[in-house]
Structure 1
Amino acid sequence: MFDNMVKVSVMQRSHHISSDVNTVLSAVLGSCVAVCAFDATMGIGGMNHMLLPDAREKDQNASSTLYGANLMELLLNDLYKQGARRQYLQFKLFGGGKLTSNGFDAGERNINFISEFVKNEGLNVISSSLGGNAGRRIEFHPATGRSRQKLLIDKPVESIALQTEIIPETGTMELF
């Protein structure tokens, strides 16, 4: 179904809605979270691609599309403007992988945010694939709500011997 359609990439910090039966929305996620929403009675849906849940620093612009709450508001408001009705909206949640071993787990923060958001708003989540250690490629057909996920598993990388070239010194330069 997804292979012969017009693919629209939903990049980080953005969202897209459509009712076109020939359009599929796609995103590649690591620690980011994508929310797919659709109203089957109206044949319209959309996807957003959240980078971070919220502003941590007071001087950051909290209304930026960097943040989940703002992207959720943009997605929902655009769906409502096109005739979607809240009581018929269904949601699918994807992403939030832990892809690094440093102390900052953006994926976990994103999962916590979206879980609280859908709970607090009383949104009808019909499926989710959150967490884990792999990235994901998501495809979503907004007119029907069908989705497809492909996990992006890292393959071991062979060790490559670095070759270095010694360049003889030909002069000196003083920088001031």
Structure 2
Amino acid sequence: MNFHREKLVNVIQGDFVISEDSEAILTTVLGSCIAVCLYDKTRGIGGMNHFLLPFREGAGGENVRYGAYAMELLINGMLKEGADRARLEAKYFGGGNMIGSLQNIGCSNAEFARQFLSDEGIPCLAESTGGTQARRIRFWPTTGRVKQLLVAGSAAPTEPPKPIVAPEPILDDITLF
């Protein structure tokens, strides 16, 4: 029996990886984060990033955990390795609402990815965002193929907000003149 061993490359939060290895599979797990899979099929090269928040103003925003910086690094890294900007195609995933009581960070991340790709003129051929489940992504960077697995029962249970109850008035036997 002939077994083919996969070359899995894990892309962690706040990181990106570029590969032209036809046996490599870039993989990550996402909740409210976004992973953008970018590739040039003709050149046979692709990359994936994994960002936590859309952007941050100032020098602190120059960190891969922010989408604006992560996208610039991914695009420029691919161009440096020989990808042609006119042939770049994208797919992106994640942006789940993992904790219902917090602001919807996932939705903001997904909207950022959509707008950034549009502004850069990079066509997005597929996306899967939103919901309350985590996603396990596998990306074959040389072909652009992506496989997504939704992780069952991954969202944190949310409690309904507690009603605001006005305190009972304090009644005293004091008479004011």
Distance 1:31 1:114 in 2: 13
Q: Deviations 1:151-173 (Å, cap 9, x if unpaired)?
A: 011079xxxxxxxxxxxxxxxxx
Report 1:64-103 matches (<5 A).
64-103=63-102
Distance 2:91 2:154 in 1: 28
1:21 deviation in Å? Answer: 0.8
Distance 1:62 1:23 in 2: 30
Instruction: Output the aligned Cα RMSD.
Output: 1.8
2:32 is paired with a residue whose SS is coil
1:84 is paired with a residue whose SS is coil
Kept in 1, the 8 Å contact 2:40–2:84? The answer is yes
2:83 is paired with a residue whose SS is coil
Identity %: 42
Matched, 1:119 2:118: yes
Provide the residue aligned with 2:148 in structure 1. Answer: 149
TM-score (normalised: structure 2): 0.82
Distance 1:123 1:9 in 2: 24
Q: Deviations 1:115-153 (Å, cap 9, x if unpaired)?
A: 111111111111111111111000000011111000011
Distance 1:125 1:59 in 2: 28
1:86 deviation in Å? Answer: 0.8
Distance 1:4 1:68 in 2: 32
Amino acid in the other structure paired with 2:18? I
Distance 2:8 2:142 in 1: 13
TM-score (normalised: structure 1): 0.82
Deviation >6 Å, runs of 4+: none
1:103 deviation in Å? Answer: 2.9
Distance 2:114 2:126 in 1: 12
List gaps (5 residues or longer) in structure 2: 156-177
Q: Deviations 1:79-98 (Å, cap 9, x if unpaired)?
A: 00110001111100100001
Amino acid in the other structure paired with 2:63? S
Report 1:24-39 matches (<5 A).
24-39=25-40
Distance 1:42 1:59 in 2: 35
Provide the residue aligned with 2:43 in structure 1. Answer: 42
1:79 is paired with a residue whose SS is helix
Which moves more between the two structures, 121-130 or 24-33? 121-130
List gaps (5 residues or longer) in structure 1: 157-176
